[in-house]
Chains A and B, each alone.
Chain A
Amino acid sequence: MPRADFVTSLVLIAFGAAMLWMSLEMPRFEQRNINPYSIPGIVPGILAGVNLILAAVLFVRSLARGGHRLGGEGWREIAFGGGAKRLGIAFVLTVAYAVGLVGVVPFWLATFIFVAAFILIFEWPLVAARRRWVLIVGALVQGVLVSAIVALVFQELFLVTLP
């Protein structure tokens, strides 16, 4: 954790510094003759300062715990362990659905493709070769059912507009 804290503290310092700079750059509306204590940048500036202080404490603490010594076997395990592979696939599939499919193709089609693909990709290695046709049929049926039920319940019953 000290290594993660070290990296996080650097990111937070960069975030705090950028926020502080942008707050100072915000207009003061002198020409509008507004009260100088109500300018838009005042609270973001203070928050940026607090973020910087908290990040600095995290930085110093992670240094004291040896967090700056980056590298080693731990990273390899995090990046290539079994859980990470599942996580990576899930992340790619979900983002591809939400950004690449929704709003591009009709919602029911996007949902059908996503649900069926998700089940097929994750269950494929868990099923014996001769039982895979059952998996394919099951994934397609669930894809059809989910997209149909979601479209029906949300659009017809709750009058929600779908993407």
Chain B
Amino acid sequence: MIESFTYFISALGEFLQPSILIHVAWATLLGIVIGMLPGLTATMGVALMTTLTYKMEASSAIIILICMYVGAIYGGSRSAILLNIPGTPANAATALDGHPLAKKGLAGRAMGIATTGSFLGSVIGMVFLALFAPILAEYALEFGAFEFFWLAVFGIVISGNLTAFDDPLKGWVAGFLGLSLAMVGQEGIHAYGRFTFGTTELLSGFDLIPALVGAFGFAEVLTVMLLPRAEMVKSAVDSVIPKFRDIARYWRTIPRSGVIGTFIGIIPGVGEDIGAWVSYAAARRKSKERDEFGKGSIEGLMAAETGNSAAAPGALIPVLTLGIPGSAPAAVLLAAMVLHGVRPGPMIMIETPAFIPSVVAMVLVASMAMLIFGIAITKPLMFVLSIPRERLMPVVFVLCVIGPYAITNRLFDIWVMLGFGTLGFILRQMNYPMAPLVLGIVLGPILDKSFRRGLTLTGGDLEPFFVRPISAVICLLTVLTVLLSIGRVRRALGIAKMKITPRRLRRGNAKGNGSGDEP
């Protein structure tokens, strides 16, 4: 622990050098702008920046990407408040209370709350990253092929379940589609080219960056062009300086939302958007002013922004310790770290013990920059939102074309981007979530290699997949997640619970619930 703290302090000292601070400043500001602009998401921003920083030194490149990530998740709150359009999917819950506040002439106060919530959320997530990541990395050393197989299956199932809460079936379809698409190209054991149809381009499979730029960039361009024009709130903006009484009044909401956001971020493929929604729902359930939620509640806005910003460092925890992304932008960060020669995974604390503390320091520096820009620059950022989509979208698409091409210099990757963009757009129109699809592409090779290695080790015996302690727990969690999302099973459990519980106790519970929280 002391050693990690020393690494953290030394990394912080390194990042406070002017040359790095300049990178921090422009990357965070660009992140905020990208987050603000509907059509440019955090995933797209980090993917694009990965291509730009490809030739930079690893530590400079990764700090730029983290600043972009933290900035973009925060930046989306501006468009959610002023336009009622979440700049990134993570800010959808922010729009519910942020926009009504702006319509009441309190846009500045709403932006101040969003800034404070985002900063504190990032800091809470950062603390958990610092405390949990080394412990999880040590624990993950015991993971073998069997555990990684179940982790991949569980990741897809839980991500499908939570990102398509109303209809988990669609989440699973998206997830397994992602896993299937990951099967294209040379497999990792015998180097046999699967589903290549005789083409050399498909031998290397679908790269993550073109797929992500397509699903989150091109699909977003098409979505923005499909929807009607948005009107910006034109009322004069009041002060954006956060008020201490707002923070003091809802002091419980911030740590609660921060913890929820972080833990949602840790779950594979379940990122900032769900972090915000779950924090928002928890705040509403516990609030004394729950009738105000959706009409301009300060507490709701604070919960949403704290939750989504805490999920960003949370999503880095499985990236660093297991090599499994906690969210879509984190998937790009994972790819970027591999490009720069870092090997995230259980061995990280042994091979590069200074890396996790260094990432913690990067998150802190990025959060500070976000806070400063959030308070200091309001008017120029509002100008960005007034750019008409007809002028902005062609520029976004030009970036979508350059991004995938820049790393491999293959025109084929531009076609992959187009293919994934079209597929992503169609699937999104039919309410299929994108996060499980992306996670599937990342987890596909892990699932494939782990399953075949496991079977080879045991000579075809499946038993170790179910009896090794960690495997058994993850397998059980996977089965429970599937069963509990089936309506009939849930109803049957409800009836069984009613039968088991003595009538006297049920009456007592009903009375308790009657005076309880649900509206």
Contact = CB atoms under 8 A, between A and B. Distances in A.
B398 A163 contact: no
Given A51-B180, A158-B52, A43 B398 contact: no
B183 interface: yes
B206 to A, nearest CB: 14
Contact of A38 (B176, B415, B456): B456
A34 B190 contact: yes
Contacts, number: 157
Interface stretch (B6-14, B301-309, B388-396, B494-502): B388-396
A109 interface: no
B261 to A, nearest CB: 30
Contacts of B180: 15, 19, 44, 47-48, 51
A101 B312 CA distance: 38
For chain B, what secondary structure do more than half of its interface residues adopt (helix, strand, loop), or is it mixed? Answer: helix
Interface in B66-106: none
The dominant DSSP class at the A interface is helix
A89 B414 CA distance: 19
A91 B460 contact: no
A48 B194 CA distance: 13
A40 interface: yes
B459 interface: yes
B172 A42 contact: no
A1 B431 contact: yes
B480 to A, nearest CB: 18
A29 B191 CA distance: 12
Contacts of A97: 397, 401
Interface string B427-445: 0001100000000000000
Interface string A116-159: 00110011001000000000000000100010001000100011
A163 to B, nearest CB: 5
Given A47-B180, A95-B418, A102-B414, A40 B187 contact: yes
B246 interface: no
Nearest to A46: B451
Interface residues of B, number: 57
A5 B406 contact: no
A105 B65 CA distance: 32
Nearest to B193: A40
Contacts of A58: 169, 173
Contacts of B399: 150
Contacts of B198: none
Contacts of B189: 38, 40
A50 B176 CA distance: 8
Interface in A62-99: 82-84, 86-87, 89-91, 93-95, 97-99
B377 interface: no
Contacts of A31: none
A154 B402 contact: yes
B53 interface: yes
A34 B418 CA distance: 38
B493 interface: no
A111 B405 CA distance: 15
A44 B222 contact: no
B183 A98 contact: no
B221 A90 contact: yes
Interface stretch (B132-140, B225-233, B236-244, B463-471): B225-233
Nearest to A102: B401
Interface of B: 51-55, 169, 172-173, 176-177, 179-180, 183, 187, 189-190, 192, 194-195, 218, 221-222, 225-228, 388, 390-391, 393-395, 397-399, 401-402, 405-406, 409, 411, 414-415, 417-418, 422, 430-431, 447-448, 451-453, 455-456, 459-460
Smallest CB-CB A-B distances: 9 pairs = A37-B455, A118-B394, A122-B390, A90-B225, A40-B192, A160-B406, A87-B226, A43-B448, A83-B226
14 contacts: A35-B456, A37-B459, A40-B187, A42-B455, A43-B183, A44-B183, A50-B176, A54-B173, A83-B226, A90-B222, A94-B218, A98-B401, A118-B394, A160-B51
